[in-house]
Structure 1
């Protein structure tokens, strides 16, 4: 009877494994009948750049900041004043603006001094540059999330495939044991132990499905699609992820040159300096130049005059704004220094994480998986020969399932560690 039960167990295991989805399928039908979209990472990256709504929205903000440069370079419009005689009491005429009447026309243009216009253009240009850095920083963060979720889904699906295989096998075994229990060939304790194992494995599978659903939701939002994504990975070992050959100092310098958030901090400091220069220029009064024509109300008829006016900087010399702008330079400079230290420390920590996770993966991945796969297949034969008790068999199955789950999680953590290093460097180091 025991030989029959585990023969069924072995056949079910092989059939479940053979029925796993083929990697070359273009579409995969999910449990609810919805086809999933099969994409490589490169294809997902391309779709992300094309469809992501946050990036599209940020590009409009970039266009708006570019328009502010144009606005900052525009001159003020001239001011025109026209005065007409509303009523001539002597001649009793309304709007007496003819040859014998009165009209006054003046035009005035504001001229900026101390290079205010150029300083405003420089400040607007730096603000637009900051918007570009913010767009790059948004892209950096979203791409890191995309790639981490992509590989998280991939390795969770590998784990789920193994769990489905074990569940199918255990369900068949439990069914066989129930029949044998009805014939009094096995004890209730043995049957309940197998059912408990099946129940625990089902709970573990549900937990994986919940995490997978969260990752799928994030991927669908990032890619702006309404289908589940099924990652296509040609080589599960992912050889392009390897410990960098550059020194830690070189990688830190690379991050200091490329990190858009650090460049944004530098741009804010630059804006503070440009604003300080502008505020000092605003202390210099502008000049208003104009001309006027007066038909009959001046000391001579048909008077033509030239006007020049300016403010006298007696009370307001923009002292408060200048002082505030100078203090802002100090504030932004300190923030930039703090950001520089933070970036260097983040890179150093990320390198340590990469080295540790790589050491862990290299130490267990090949031999560990081969040994456990061999163990999983040998358990059946050993039990058939009476070399294993039911409890030993259950313990080995539990150990195998937990190890498969932990190993795939470690593989996902490895990719995430390398992608985090990419994120912290501000460049794609692993291609």
Structure 2
């Protein structure tokens, strides 16, 4: 029986490796830098947001345009003396007037300033969208890599256990092993298969999300990741320095500052709207005035007796205070987020330091030794199962720890609004 198991140990894993190689050939192999470039080029949300930026720039142009002049033409519908319809000749009557609205109190410049700040807010929203999507991209990129690492180990273990179970079933039918031993191995195989399925489900979700971010239809296979992971180190800057860096860089915080500025500009505009605008124009009247061919100039303006825009001015003033409170709240949130992120980094580094540098290598060696010892009959089935369970759990936990570590550093990048680990 041991010989049969030994043969299966090396035959079926080679088939699994070939199947995995074929699957890798269908994947899109990308470094993180290549994924970033593809993301900026292809992401549909970013492309759509750029149209919003273009639209906001067009609003600046619109705010600077003058109103069109108003032209009025009045002609005589029927001349009783000449009995002519629409008599506009020398004996008839026609009136032509033209008016132009002139803004006072600098309303045009104030509207341009408000539209410009609104366009700036749109650009900041684009940057914030880019920041959030890039964080999602990088987190899923690393998550996919470490999940694939775990699956590769699990696939090897599954192949080993499947051959073992197959060999034990043959020996059970020959009454060489007990049903209890066979069921214990099947339970271990079932548990490992369930763990693998859970990882496959999470990997499928991450693959779906990253393919959407990159606008591609192929599975992604991260490459050259180990070189990237080594660049993540606890920042040498103080917590206060990093918090101030976030306050300067975060586009979402700058967006709240832009809203405060817009509220102030709107308040200035509303006060200017209390000043009436002036309409100037000219009139030509052929025969309807006290003289023939009358030419006159006109100036008109509203008299601010009842409506001096009091309500809009008061509302704009309250809006300033409202936006200022939100901006201060956002600033406090940013500082707390950075402080919490640094705590996470220090905690995950403490966890990593508790794992010896040779931990992964030692467990691989132990796993190979367990298989060899079991084949030779040097350890019992119970010992074999316990050691295999410990190995599988350790592989899963170690790769999850590595993914958590990278995610913690990428979260700090996200919260700072800057790539601190280049």
Band of TM-score, shorter chain: over 0.9
Query: Could you tell me how far 1:239 is from its partner in structure 2?
Result: 0.8
- Determine the C-alpha separation between the residues in 2 that align with 1:102 and 1:308: 24
Secondary structure, in 3 states, of the residue corresponding to 1:428?
A: coil
Unaligned runs of 5+ in 2: none
Greater Cα shift, 359-368 or 344-353: 359-368
**Which residues of 2 match residues 353-392 of structure 1 at below 5 A?**
353-364=344-355, 366-383=357-374, 387-392=378-383
- Determine the C-alpha separation between the residues in 2 that align with 1:388 and 1:163: 22
Secondary structure, in 3 states, of the residue corresponding to 2:237?
A: coil
- Determine the C-alpha separation between the residues in 1 that align with 2:291 and 2:7: 121
2:23 is aligned to 30
1:150 is aligned to 141
- Which one of the candidate residues 205, 211, 222 is aligned to 1:231? 222
Decide whether the 8 Å contact of 1:256 with 1:262 is kept in 2: yes
- Determine the C-alpha separation between the residues in 1 that align with 2:90 and 2:410: 83
**Which residues of 2 match residues 94-109 of structure 1 at below 5 A?**
94-109=85-100
Query: Could you tell me how far 1:415 is from its partner in structure 2?
Result: 1.0
Query: Could you tell me how far 1:390 is from its partner in structure 2?
Result: 1.0
Query: Could you tell me how far 1:366 is from its partner in structure 2?
Result: 2.1
Greater Cα shift, 271-280 or 92-101: 92-101
1:45 is aligned to 36
- Which one of the candidate residues 362, 378, 386 is aligned to 1:395? 386
1:186 is aligned to 177
Secondary structure, in 3 states, of the residue corresponding to 1:314?
A: coil
1:7 is aligned to 6
Secondary structure, in 3 states, of the residue corresponding to 1:76?
A: coil
- Determine the C-alpha separation between the residues in 2 that align with 1:413 and 1:299: 91
Secondary structure, in 3 states, of the residue corresponding to 2:27?
A: strand
Q: Which string of whole-angstrom CA distances, capped at 9 and with x for unpartnered residues, describes residues 64-103 of structure 1?
A: 0000000000000010111111111122111111112111
- Determine the C-alpha separation between the residues in 2 that align with 1:109 and 1:18: 81
Decide whether the 8 Å contact of 1:104 with 1:294 is kept in 2: yes
Secondary structure, in 3 states, of the residue corresponding to 1:308?
A: strand
- Determine the C-alpha separation between the residues in 2 that align with 1:324 and 1:407: 57
Secondary structure, in 3 states, of the residue corresponding to 1:60?
A: helix
- Determine the C-alpha separation between the residues in 2 that align with 1:403 and 1:5: 29
- Determine the C-alpha separation between the residues in 2 that align with 1:51 and 1:420: 23
TM-score (norm 1): 0.94
Secondary structure, in 3 states, of the residue corresponding to 1:80?
A: strand
Query: Could you tell me how far 1:237 is from its partner in structure 2?
Result: 7.1
The number of aligned residues is 422
TM-score (norm 2): 0.96
1:430 is aligned to 421
Secondary structure, in 3 states, of the residue corresponding to 1:38?
A: strand
- Determine the C-alpha separation between the residues in 1 that align with 2:22 and 2:126: 36
Name the CA shift for 1:237/1:82 in 2 (closer, same or farther; >3 Å).
closer
Query: Could you tell me how far 1:19 is from its partner in structure 2?
Result: 5.6
Query: Could you tell me how far 1:428 is from its partner in structure 2?
Result: 1.0
Query: Could you tell me how far 1:5 is from its partner in structure 2?
Result: 5.1
Q: Which string of whole-angstrom CA distances, capped at 9 and with x for unpartnered residues, describes residues 37-90 of structure 1?
A: 111111111111111110000000110000000000000001011111111112
Query: Could you tell me how far 1:20 is from its partner in structure 2?
Result: 8.8
Unaligned runs of 5+ in 1: 22-27
- Determine the C-alpha separation between the residues in 2 that align with 1:394 and 1:406: 18
Q: CA RMSD in A?
A: 1.9
Decide whether the 8 Å contact of 1:5 with 1:177 is kept in 2: no
2:101 is aligned to 110
Name the CA shift for 1:356/1:268 in 2 (closer, same or farther; >3 Å).
same
